[in-house]
């Protein structure tokens, strides 16, 4: 659709329009120039450390006065270490190879011509996020690297932090000569609701929500462009009869270490009914010593009154804190059925010494990723491999699983004739 299709001159229209116009220019830029801009963003964030931390202090003070939940305060609070990690992520991103224009074979072939496909940018991406100010910079880096422009809409609790980071982004963009519209920020002063933004499908090509499940569900309900849902928490672990207590304990504790956002944290554990009771008590006591709150289903609470009761509605929602709920099941089949009904569907685990059980779990669990005797802990920059990840998606639509550079691209088919007419 033409950028002149709408005559509305309000800022709400002007912002997506600028982003759209910038995306047309970004789509034709060279990979080396996009990488240079991402590295400039990393340098700008590093240079503005003090300004960003000062702005974050203002947000924290205001949020405490407004009685913002502790969970959001934890997500909001920036530290030098978190900012240093942001810079490291952006530097890694800037060093990666260009994700665009990679030539792939195409199945669709015509006589007297050759067809191939290439990865291309999506266009304009709207990123809507709660707290996590540094994610604005990381998302912007991912979008510019993949040739997309981005519209940032953070929560009001992080307004000062988001603006300070946005200013750093704009300085970096200006330094490298990219159009300012390739990164836009919607602030409270614009008076725009989430619905106002996510219905601008004449300009916006993809919406990515990041935060609690309530935010994601709101965006999915209201958005007219496609939504790349992110998921966090409510991951399950099945504790098989053929398994190691030490492995179970390590996986649970390690999965909660991906601070500040416990993307793949194990919050629910299904136990084979024939497992030894003393093994459960040993595990629960060990987790309590590490600061976990332990809950159980009706049957476990009756057997072990020291456990808190997990209510029926808790099995399908994330805790997003250091709480673990245990439930007895009769078999692997029952565990798979329960996980498919109540898990968040992005990362679930099994601990077993049986190869047959591991294959049955991997194929039967309807989740984006399954882990066998391995921790699902989430890393934005894994120590092995060349990749940067924004989060995890549990959907089956546009993309599923890890949200990487390629998740922000689409495919263009090109048919080249041989000149015969």
Integer Cα distance of 143 and 121 in angstroms: 9
- Tokens at 162, concatenated: 């988001």
- DSSP assignment of 22-70 equals HHHHHTTS-HHHHHHHHHHHHHHHHHTHHHHHHHHHHHHHHHHHTT--H
Closest CA to 210 of 133, 143, 97, 121: 133
Q: What is the pLDDT of residue 356?
A: 96
Range scoring the smallest mean pLDDT among 45-49, 85-89, 100-104: 100-104
Longest distance between any two alpha carbons in the chain, whole Å: 83
Among 98, 101, 186, 102, which Cα is nearest to 144's? 98
Average pLDDT over every residue of 248-268 = 93
pLDDT of residue 294 exceeding 80, the answer is: yes
Say if residue 367 is exposed, middle or buried (CB neighbours under 10 Å; 0-12, 13-18, 19+).
buried
Mean pLDDT of 237-250: 92
Mean pLDDT lowest among 128-132, 271-275, 346-350, 406-410: 271-275
pLDDT at 237: 98
pLDDT tens profile 364-389: 999 999 999 999 999 999 887 788 99
What pLDDT is attached to residue 50? 96
Q: What is the structure's pLDDT at 386?
A: 80
Q: What is the pLDDT of residues 136-161, one digit of tens each?
A: 999 999 999 999 999 999 999 999 99
Strands 113-121 and 103-105: antiparallel
Q: How confident is the model at residue 109 (pLDDT cuts 50, 70, 90)?
A: confident
* Least confident piece of the model among 10-14, 50-54, 82-86, 211-215: 10-14
Residue, of 111 and 284, whose pLDDT is higher = 284
Task: Categorize the per-residue pLDDT at 2 as very low, low, confident or very high, splitting at 50, 70 and 90.
Answer: very low
Average pLDDT of 102-128?
85
**Per-residue pLDDT, 191:** 72
Q: What share of the chain is helix, strand, coil (3-state, %, to 5)?
A: 45, 20, 40
pLDDT > 80? residue 190: no
Is residue 5 pLDDT above 50, yes or no?
A: no
Domains belonging to the chain, first-starting first, are: 11-230+390-417 (3.40.605.10), 235-372 (3.40.309.10)
Instruction: Supply the pLDDT for residue 421.
Output: 55
Give pLDDT, residue 169.
Answer: 98
Q: Residue 214, Cβ neighbours under 10 Å: how many?
A: 11
With 90 as the cut, is the pLDDT of residue 126 above it?
A: yes
Residue 345 has pLDDT above 90, yes or no: yes
User: Residue 4 — pLDDT band, cuts 50, 70, 90?
Assistant: very low
In whole angstroms, what is the distance from residue 197 CA to residue 224 CA? Answer: 10
The predicted pLDDT at position 3 comes to 37
C-alpha closest to that of 93 among 131, 53, 40: 40
More confident residue, 81 or 275: 81
Nearest to 325 by CA among 402, 394, 257, 266: 266
Residue 113: per-residue pLDDT: 79
pLDDT higher than threshold 80 for residue 112? no
**Predicted pLDDT at 62:** 94
Cβ of 130: how many Cβ atoms within 10 Å? 22
> How many DSSP H helices and E strands does the chain contain?
14, 16
Taking only the tens place, the pLDDT of each residue in 379-417 is 999 887 788 999 999 988 778 899 999 999 998 888 888
Distance CA 100, CA 406 (A): 9
- pLDDT band with cut points at 50, 70 and 90 for residue 204: very high
Strand ranges of the sheet holding 124-129, from the earlier edge strand across to the other edge: 183-185, 149-154, 124-129, 206-210
| pLDDT attached to residue 417 | 83
Half-sphere exposure of 131 (CA within 13 A, CB side): 17
* Beta carbons within 10 angstroms of residue 113's beta carbon: 12
Task: Kindly report which listed range (73-82, 253-262, 271-280) carries the lowest average pLDDT score.
Answer: 271-280
Mean pLDDT of the chain: 91
Both tokens of 373, joined, read 């005797």
> Would you state the pLDDT for residue 420?
61
Instruction: Say yes or no to pLDDT of 1 above 80.
Output: no
> Which distant-in-sequence residues (6+ apart) come within 8 Å of 384 by Cβ?
none
Q: What is the reported pLDDT for 353? A: 94
Judged against a pLDDT cut of 60, whether residue 43 lies above it is answered with yes
42 close to 140: Cβ distance less than 8 angstroms:
no
pLDDT for 254: 96
DSSP bridge pairs for 348: 370
DSSP β-ladder status, 392-393 and 293-296: unpaired
Phi first, then psi, for residue 325 (nearest 5°) are -115, 135
């Amino acid at each position: 659709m033409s950028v002149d299709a709408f005559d509305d001159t309000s800022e709400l229209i002007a912002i997506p329009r600028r982003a759209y116009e910038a995306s047309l220019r970004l789509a034709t830029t060279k990979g080396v120039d996009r990488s240079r801009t991402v590295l400039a963003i990393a340098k700008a964030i590093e240079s503005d450390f003090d300004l960003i931390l000062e702005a974050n202090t203002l947000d924290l003070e205001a949020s405490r006065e407004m009685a913002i939940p502790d969970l959001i305060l934890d997500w909001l609070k920036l530290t030098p270490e978190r900012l240093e990690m942001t810079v490291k992520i952006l530097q890694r991103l800037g060093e990666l190879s260009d994700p665009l224009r990679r030539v792939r074979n195409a199945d669709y072939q015509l006589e007297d011509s050759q067809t191939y496909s290439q990865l291309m940018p999506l266009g304009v991406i709207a990123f809507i996020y709660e707290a996590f100010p540094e994610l604005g910079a990381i998302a912007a880096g991912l979008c510019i690297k993949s040739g997309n422009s981005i519209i940032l809409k953070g929560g009001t609790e992080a307004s000062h932090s988001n603006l300070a980071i946005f200013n750093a982004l704009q300085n970096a963009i200006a330094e490298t000569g990219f159009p300012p519209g390739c990164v836009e920020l919607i602030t409270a002063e614009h008076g725009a609701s989430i619905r106002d933004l996510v219905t601008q499908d004449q300009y916006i090509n993809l919406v990515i929500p990041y935060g609690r499940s309530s935010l994601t569900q709101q965006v999915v309900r209201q958005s007219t462009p496609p939504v790349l849902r992110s998921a966090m928490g409510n991951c399950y672990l099945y504790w098989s009869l053929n398994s190691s207590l030490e492995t179970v304990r390590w996986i649970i504790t390690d999965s909660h270490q991906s601070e500040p956002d416990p993307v793949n944290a194990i919050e629910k554990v299904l136990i084979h009914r024939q497992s030894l009771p003393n093994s459960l008590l040993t595990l629960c006591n060990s987790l309590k010593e590490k600061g976990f709150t332990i809950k159980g289903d009706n049957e476990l609470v009756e057997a072990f009154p020291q456990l808190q009761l997990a209510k029926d509605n808790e099995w399908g929602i994330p805790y997003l804190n250091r709480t673990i709920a245990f439930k007895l099941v009769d078999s692997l089949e029952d565990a798979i059925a329960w996980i498919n009904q109540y898990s968040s569907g992005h990362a679930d685990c099994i601990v077993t010494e049986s190869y047959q059980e591991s294959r049955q779990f991997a194929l039967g669990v309807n989740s984006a990723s399954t882990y066998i005797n391995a921790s699902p802990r989430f890393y934005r920059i894994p120590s092995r491999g060349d990749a940067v990840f924004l989060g995890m998606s549990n959907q089956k639509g546009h993309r599923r699983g890890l949200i990487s550079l390629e998740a922000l691209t689409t495919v263009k088919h090109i048919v080249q004739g041989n000149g015969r007419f």
